[in-house]
């Protein structure tokens, strides 16, 4: 009986320790607008606001790689979007993208 209680307590401690980390890892989405899509190259050009974690302190228009080519089918040129980007193997890559309302 005591062992079960200890295991249960351990699970509670673990889940409590893991959950806040997940919340912190989620970075806020960046606002942008699609100006060009190159499906064959797996690239998208976005006009976007500052992305502090990528040392972009001002907005700009630039080309990003996309993590999954299917992302390029979810949006079209002119769409306002919200996205997240990160350095993946040294290349700045869109990891999430969704249409903004
Ligand atoms: Cu940029």
CA 86 to chain centre: 7
pLDDT for 27 equals 64
pLDDT for 28 equals 81
| Buried/exposed code over 67-82 (b: 16+ C-beta within 10 A; e: otherwise) | beeebbeebeeebebe
Ligand 1 geometric centre to CA of 61 (Å)? 6
pLDDT for 17 equals 52
pTM of the model: 0.73
Ligand 1 geometric centre to CA of 62 (Å)? 5
Q: Would you say 100 and 31 are in contact if contact means Cβ atoms under 8 Å apart? A: yes
pLDDT tens digits in sequence order for the chain, 101 residues long: 666 665 555 555 555 555 454 445 556 899 999 999 999 999 999 999 999 999 999 999 999 999 999 999 999 999 999 999 999 999 999 999 999 97
Ligand 1 geometric centre to CA of 67 (Å)? 16
Distance CA 31, CA 100 (A): 8
């Amino acid at each position: 009986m005591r062992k079960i209680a200890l295991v249960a307590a351990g699970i509670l401690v673990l889940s409590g320790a893991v959950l806040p980390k997940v919340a912190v890892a989620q970075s806020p989405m960046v606002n942008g607008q699609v100006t060009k899509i190159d499906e064959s190259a797996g690239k998208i050009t976005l006009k976007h606001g500052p992305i502090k974690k990528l040392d972009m302190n001002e907005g700009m228009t630039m080309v990003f790689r996309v993590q999954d080519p299917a992302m390029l089918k979810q949006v079209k040129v002119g769409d306002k979007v919200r996205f997240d980007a990160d350095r993946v193997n040294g290349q700045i890559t869109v990891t999430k993208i969704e249409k903004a309302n």
